[in-house]
Amino acid sequence: MKKVAIYAARRLATAAFTVLLVSLLIFIAFNLVPGDPVRLILGTEASEERVAALRALLGLDKSLPMQYLGWISGMLHGDFGTSIKYQRPVAELIGQRVPVTVTLAAFSLVLAFAFAIPLGILSARKKGSISDKAISFGSMLSISIPGFCLGIFVIWLFGLKLRLFMPGGYVSYRTNIPGYLNYMLFPAIVMALPNAAVALNYLRSSILEELKRNYVKTALSKGHTLKGALYKHVLKNAFVPLISLVGMMAASAFGGSIIIEQVFGIPGIGALLIGAITSRDFPMAQSMAACISVIVVGSNSAADIAIQIIDPRIKLYK
Amino acid sequence: MSSSKLLWASSLSIGIDRDGSYYPAVDGIDFYIGKGEILGLVGESGCGKSMTALAITGLLPDGVAIKKGSVLFEGENLIGMPEKEMARLRGRAISMVFQEPMSSLNPLMKIGKQVSEAVRLHDPKPKREAERLAEAVLGKVGLQNPKVLMQCYPHQLSGGMQQRVMIAMAIISNPKLMIADEPTTALDVTMQAQILDLLKSINQEYGMAMLFISHDLGVVSRFCDRMAVMYAGKIVEEGTVSNIFKHPVHEYTRGLLESIPRADSRGKTLASVKGRVPNIFEKRMPCAFAPRCQKVQDRCLKCDPPNIALSQNHTARCILAENESEINYASI
């Protein structure tokens, strides 16, 4: 256990360094993007004095390294800057919307694995059977349909035909939690399906690979039935490679919810991010990108640490 | 006679059906293991030894199936036995030890759990009791500090220790037969000797019969009571170890015996059997060994070699064995 703690500490240090590096890249990228936010706000007709004044107000007159340091130290103190477009603190704007996207991402991950685990086990156990083929066809389908198409289909089927939710009638978690969860279930399904398909195939091949290992023969020779050996010995081994997949999916669920949020009219961070980029709202876009990078790096690190805890053999002291 | 036989395989054939053709891996073999006896099954890789072992316990890999024959264990036919019944027999009445101890243990499960599970699968003892038993058996197979070991994972143990753990699992339910498939091949020489001593003492103390699979005739000569030599899916010579070592009849057995390093062969080139075992997809001669045999005759390529009894405890499947008169082993 102590070893795991040391590993976790090192992993988190690496993660912090990675995030710092990413923040630098984000900062450089946004400063390379053509388009001057000041001109965008004031229009091309504005006088030079007004432009200079606004520049000073926004801190854009300072040198780039100073701007970067100012941004980073602000972030570390919880000050994410002020949105140029909304004229309100970025932290407040993001804070309102993050819970929505987090719910969506978490919900979709839980659903993805709720589909993937039983179906993955089933298709591995009945390899080559009709049900295996049906599952593989279904997963192929859910990977190949673009998210927005699937979204529209879900809206049509569950919203308009079955009337299980009101399309476009987003319910805020502040007013009605059951209503909110009910509404979020459907976009979460749309997001979950492709992930479920990927996880399912991963799990299936992982189980089939593990079943060939010698320890399975040992388990059987001790008196396990194939089913017993599968559940008591194979599954835990088969899940190990799946954990890093969970990490990657958690990260991509967060960044990938933008389209689904648009299709379902959900006020998550997606719309905010698109707005920030199109209106050259640099403080906003920059801080949001940094937040997403923290989540991506964080969930991958968490997955690595979880693998350490589960598999005693892997020791990545890096 | 039959009451002293623990396991009795007759005309056992195992093979692969592929693209409408049948390829035999084991071709109609007969053998028995007496109660408390150690039978050595020897031959080069690919002769069908492991397939025979796996067929007995119903653990043949996918695509490989028993074509015909029977395997009676205490009078009950194991072939065609339902999976659940077979599972009840495995570990409790027939246990197995495999060649590679490292990969044969579950890497993510503590030793204690793996060993005590072997008990609990057959005997619904409380967990604590099964663990106490596991600890005792781990001590019994010569492992130091069994209490600490119980909390270890397989990768923390050496190969020899892992094989002792495998043996502990194989004896904990006190089965009547242990099938050991090349149990010492993956170990270094000193460890090999220790593991063999351990198995021998288990055989003597518990009267546990063993099917000992090996390609090492030197080991077989020291360890087994009887032996069967397999070549290309057939048993070519069978008998007591002393009879066969005193008077090997089949050219294959002779070749194997000559390739054992001896003290007096120091400095000389070690003999080897030229050629290789045909793989199971190759077409075979009536006597599969004919292409490698130094005394091959025209007849060997035309008709199946007969199985000739040279004495009560010695048979050979070779045309040349016809010329052997009743052998007086004592005079040799």
Kindly determine whether residue A220 and residue B59, on different chains, have CB atoms separated by under 8 Å: yes
* Contact predicate B42/B230, CB 8 Å: yes
Residue (of A90, A93, A23) closest to A284 by Cα position: A90
Query: What is the CA angle B190-B210-B252, rounded to 5?
Result: 75
Domain of residue A128, residue span: 92-278
CA distance A121 to chain B (A): 18
Are A4 and A43 members of one domain? yes
Are A72 and A169 members of one domain? no
Question: Which amino acid would we find at residue B70?
Answer: S
Average pLDDT, chain B: 91
Mutate: best of A208, A215, A224, A230, partner B, most B CBs <10 A: A215
Higher confidence at residue A281 or residue B171? B171
Higher confidence at residue A98 or residue A42? A98
Rounded Cα–Cα distance for residues A177 and A183 (Å) = 10
Are A45 and A171 members of one domain? no
Strand partners, B3: none
Say whether pLDDT at A318 is over 50: no
Are A209 and A286 members of one domain? no
Residue of B nearest to A127 (CA): B62
So what's the pLDDT on residue A180?
Answer: 92
Interface of A with B in 198-227 (CB under 8 A): 213-215, 217-226
Chain A to chain B, count of Cβ pairs less than 8 Å apart? 78
So what's the pLDDT on residue A97?
Answer: 87
Q: Which structure tokens are listed for A39?
A: 């001109």
Max Cα distance, chain A (Å): 86
A315 touches chain B (CB under 8 A): no
Residue (of B111, B131, B110, B109) closest to B120 by Cα position: B131
Coil, strand or helix: which one is A314? coil
CA distance B318 to chain A (A): 36
Residue (of A33, A228, A112) closest to B106 by Cα position: A228
Rounded Cα–Cα distance for residues B91 and B102 (Å) = 19
Residue (of B227, B137, B127) closest to B174 by Cα position: B137
Q: Which structure tokens are listed for B324?
A: 């052997």
CA distance B163 to chain A (A): 12
A308 touches chain B (CB under 8 A): no
So what's the pLDDT on residue B37?
Answer: 96
Q: Which structure tokens are listed for B148?
A: 């600490």
* Contact predicate B50/B91, CB 8 Å: no
Coil, strand or helix: which one is B310? strand
So what's the pLDDT on residue B332?
Answer: 60
Higher confidence at residue A87 or residue A186? A186
Strand partners, B96: B179
Where are chain B's structural domains?
232-332
Scan for tokens 């409380």, then name that residue: B126
A236 touches chain B (CB under 8 A): yes
pLDDT in tens, B41-96: 998 888 999 999 999 999 999 889 999 999 999 999 999 999 999 999 999 999 99
pLDDT in tens, A121-171: 999 999 999 999 999 999 999 999 988 899 999 999 999 999 998 888 888
pLDDT tier, A268 (very low <50, low <70, confident <90, very high otherwise)? confident
Say whether pLDDT at A261 is over 70: yes
What residues of chain A lie within 8 A of the CB of B89, using their CB? 223
So what's the pLDDT on residue A99?
Answer: 87
Report, as an integer, the average pLDDT of A173-201.
Answer: 92
Q: What percentage of chain B reaches a pLDDT higher than 70?
A: 97
Q: What percentage of chain A reaches a pLDDT higher than 70?
A: 98
Backbone angles phi, psi at B6, to 5 degrees: -85, -45
Report, as an integer, the average pLDDT of B299-318.
Answer: 89
Scan for tokens 């809206």, then name that residue: A155
Residue (of B245, B251, B332) closest to B297 by Cα position: B251
pLDDT in tens, A204-255: 999 999 999 999 999 999 999 999 999 999 999 999 989 989 988 888 887 7
So what's the pLDDT on residue A316?
Answer: 52
Strand partners, B231: B234
Residue of A nearest to B57 (CA): A221
So what's the pLDDT on residue B316?
Answer: 93
Count CA atoms closer than 13 A to A305's CA, side-chain side.
21
What residues of chain A lie within 8 A of the CB of B78, using their CB? none
Are A139 and A235 members of one domain? yes
Backbone angles phi, psi at B42, to 5 degrees: -120, 165
pLDDT in tens, B109-134: 999 999 999 999 998 889 999 999 99
CA distance A211 to chain B (A): 11
What residues of chain B lie within 8 A of the CB of A219, using their CB? 106
Strand partners, B16: B23, B64
**CATH code, A264:** 1.10.3720.10
Kindly determine whether residue B117 and residue A228, on different chains, have CB atoms separated by under 8 Å: no
pLDDT tier, A85 (very low <50, low <70, confident <90, very high otherwise)? confident
Residues of B with CB under 8 A from a CB of A: 57, 59, 83-84, 87-92, 95-96, 98, 100, 103-109, 117-118, 121-122, 153, 155, 166, 169-170, 173
Are A253 and A105 members of one domain? yes
Kindly determine whether residue A214 and residue B96, on different chains, have CB atoms separated by under 8 Å: no
Higher confidence at residue A23 or residue B272? A23
Q: What percentage of chain B reaches a pLDDT higher than 90?
A: 67
Are A255 and A295 members of one domain? no
Are A250 and A106 members of one domain? yes
Are A69 and A98 members of one domain? no
Q: In what order do the strands lie in the sheet with B64-73?
A: B21-34, B5-18, B64-73, B76-77
Kindly determine whether residue A218 and residue B106, on different chains, have CB atoms separated by under 8 Å: yes
Helix/strand/coil percentages in chain B, nearest 5:
35, 25, 40
Q: How many domains are contained in chain A?
A: 2
User: Which residues have CB under 8 Å from B228's CB, separation 6+?
Assistant: B29, B31, B39, B40, B41, B42, B235, B237, B238
Residue (of B94, B151, B92, B86) closest to B118 by Cα position: B92
Higher confidence at residue B269 or residue A88? A88
pLDDT tier, B331 (very low <50, low <70, confident <90, very high otherwise)? low
Residue of B nearest to A234 (CA): B106
Q: Strand B5-18 to strand B76-77: parallel, antiparallel, or no bridges (unpaired)?
A: unpaired
Are A177 and A46 members of one domain? no
So what's the pLDDT on residue B325?
Answer: 62
Higher confidence at residue B312 or residue A110? A110
Are A64 and A104 members of one domain? no
Are A107 and A201 members of one domain? yes
Rounded Cα–Cα distance for residues A43 and A6 (Å) = 55
Residue (of B7, B98, B94, B14) closest to B48 by Cα position: B14
Report, as an integer, the average pLDDT of B288-307.
Answer: 88
A150-154, A155-159, B173-177, B322-326: range with lowest mean pLDDT: B322-326
Question: Which amino acid would we find at residue B232?
Answer: A
Tally of CB atoms within 10 A around A203 = 25
According to DSSP, residue B295 is labeled T
* Contact predicate B90/B31, CB 8 Å: no
So what's the pLDDT on residue A259?
Answer: 86
| CB-nearest partner of B98 from A214, A223, A226 | A214
What residues of chain A lie within 8 A of the CB of B107, using their CB? 215, 237, 311-313
User: Which residues have CB under 8 Å from B104's CB, separation 6+?
Assistant: A214, A215, A217, A218, B98, B162, B166
* Contact predicate A233/B109, CB 8 Å: yes
Burial class of residue B326, CB neighbours in 10 A (0-12, 13-18, 19+): exposed
pLDDT tier, B1 (very low <50, low <70, confident <90, very high otherwise)? very low
Q: What percentage of chain A reaches a pLDDT higher than 90?
A: 43
pLDDT tier, A29 (very low <50, low <70, confident <90, very high otherwise)? confident
So what's the pLDDT on residue B228?
Answer: 97
